[in-house]
Amino acid sequence: MGFLEIRNVKKRYGGTDVLKGIDISIEQGDFLVLVGPSGCGKSTLLNLIAGLDQLSEGEIWINGVMVNDLHPSKRDIAMVFQSYALYPNMTVAENVVFGLEMRGVPKPEREAAVAEVAKILQIEHLLTRKPSQLSGGQRQRVAMGRALVRKPLVFLFDEPLSNLDAKLRVEMRTEIKRLHQNMGATIVYVTHDQIEAMTLATQIAVMNGGEIQQLGSPKEIYNRPVNTFVASFMGSPSMNMIPAVLGNGGVEIASGNGAPISLRLPANGRGPNAASGRKVILGLRPEAVTDPGAADRNGAVTDANCHVEVVEPAGSDTFAVMRLGGVEVIARMRADTDLKPGQTAPFAFNMEKAVLFDPQSGNRID
């Protein structure tokens, strides 16, 4: 059994199913990120784990104990809220220590615990201030301190970085990752930001419509998405989804101007060998479509000429937008590429990490 085990958990509000049977199991020290669009049920699931909401069906186990009927304070969890939820009338030190105080921890121990956590989070100089006197990033640290000080079995984070500005968000992301590495804590983290999910997680659960679409390591999710939803949700810019037809050990794409482009599939057993003529959707990450000079030539790489519609320099890379198979395709080029819009230029298609999907169901074809 996993350290945190979620078994067939369902949640209904009135007549609507918000969660339709969730199964997740993670080990101690895992960093599980629940990611998905708004309304996918990820925050609801987190609230169920916290005990702030009652589940309609299923079981939640933490460290071998079924916690379904346990009060939030008895589950040995700590939660960091999106709004930080710092008590406005208390100082930082009082905020951090409130949970210990409520549990009857004697004062000397409480003070020692605050000092320790304040040192880890570098908030020692803020301890006597009120939350209203803190900046967003400082509040965020205090909110984390309030969780850390309790040394719970599981940390729950509810979109903790979404109220910070872009620069601070990246800093705090690194901070959280460092904390996780140093303390080996078990964390469940909710976000709608797929980059946060990729950078922080050891396990990602991609959710949509109250169901888990895919549960796996960031690498698995990124490279082997089980369906078009996961493929297009994870990654930025998102994966190109090009209508194509199978044939001759590869796929053919209508290029718009005359001859179709034929791309060879790698001979590594992936992708269907037979079924010529079958319609598929070819999933190609932008980095798999690049300048011929920059491509990794070890794999199944095919060069083809394409008509460039738009060029978007992004600093570290330049993105080229073209039209293949009737859809927009984004290619990630070197930053110093001299592509011009309107030009027809050669592109290298690296098919090593290409994924094929069924056009009807959207599921991956292996």
Nearest to 159 by CA among 83, 53, 88: 83
* Cβ closest to another protein, residue 159 vs residue 175: 159
34 three-class SS = strand
Helix 136-148 to helix 92-102 angle (10° resolution) is 20
DSSP string spanning 271-291? Answer: S-SS-TT-EEEEEE-GGGEE-
Residue 180 C-alpha from the chain's centroid: 16
CA–CA separation, 9 and 24 (whole Å) = 9
Q: How far is the CB of 136 from another protein (least distance, A)?
A: 6
Q: How far is the CB of 61 from another protein (least distance, A)?
A: 18
Nearest to 221 by CA among 230, 229, 212: 230
* Cβ closest to another protein, residue 139 vs residue 141: 139
Q: How far is the CB of 305 from another protein (least distance, A)?
A: 51
329 beta partners: 322
* Cβ closest to another protein, residue 99 vs residue 216: 99
C-alpha distance from residue 101 to each of 96, 113, 119, 232, 357 (Å): 10, 11, 20, 47, 55
Q: How far is the CB of 5 from another protein (least distance, A)?
A: 20
Q: How far is the CB of 147 from another protein (least distance, A)?
A: 9
Q: Give counts: helices (H), strands (E), the chain.
A: 8, 21
Q: How far is the CB of 118 from another protein (least distance, A)?
A: 18
* Cβ closest to another protein, residue 41 vs residue 250: 41
319 three-class SS = strand
* Cβ closest to another protein, residue 15 vs residue 269: 15
Residues in contact with another protein by CB under 8 A are 50, 52, 71-73, 77-79, 81-89, 98-99, 102-103, 130-136, 139, 146, 163
CA–CA separation, 256 and 154 (whole Å) = 53
Nearest to 261 by CA among 306, 317, 216: 306
Q: How far is the CB of 50 from another protein (least distance, A)?
A: 6
């104990």: which residue's tokens?
65
Q: How far is the CB of 3 from another protein (least distance, A)?
A: 19
Q: How far is the CB of 18 from another protein (least distance, A)?
A: 18
Would you report the helix, strand and coil content of the chain in percent, each value rounded to 5? Answer: 25, 35, 40
* Cβ closest to another protein, residue 163 vs residue 199: 163
Q: How far is the CB of 78 from another protein (least distance, A)?
A: 7
CA–CA separation, 8 and 142 (whole Å) = 35
* Cβ closest to another protein, residue 72 vs residue 299: 72
* Cβ closest to another protein, residue 165 vs residue 336: 165
* Cβ closest to another protein, residue 50 vs residue 205: 50
21 three-class SS = strand
C-alpha distance from residue 179 to each of 50, 169, 185, 292 (Å): 21, 15, 8, 41
* Cβ closest to another protein, residue 3 vs residue 81: 81
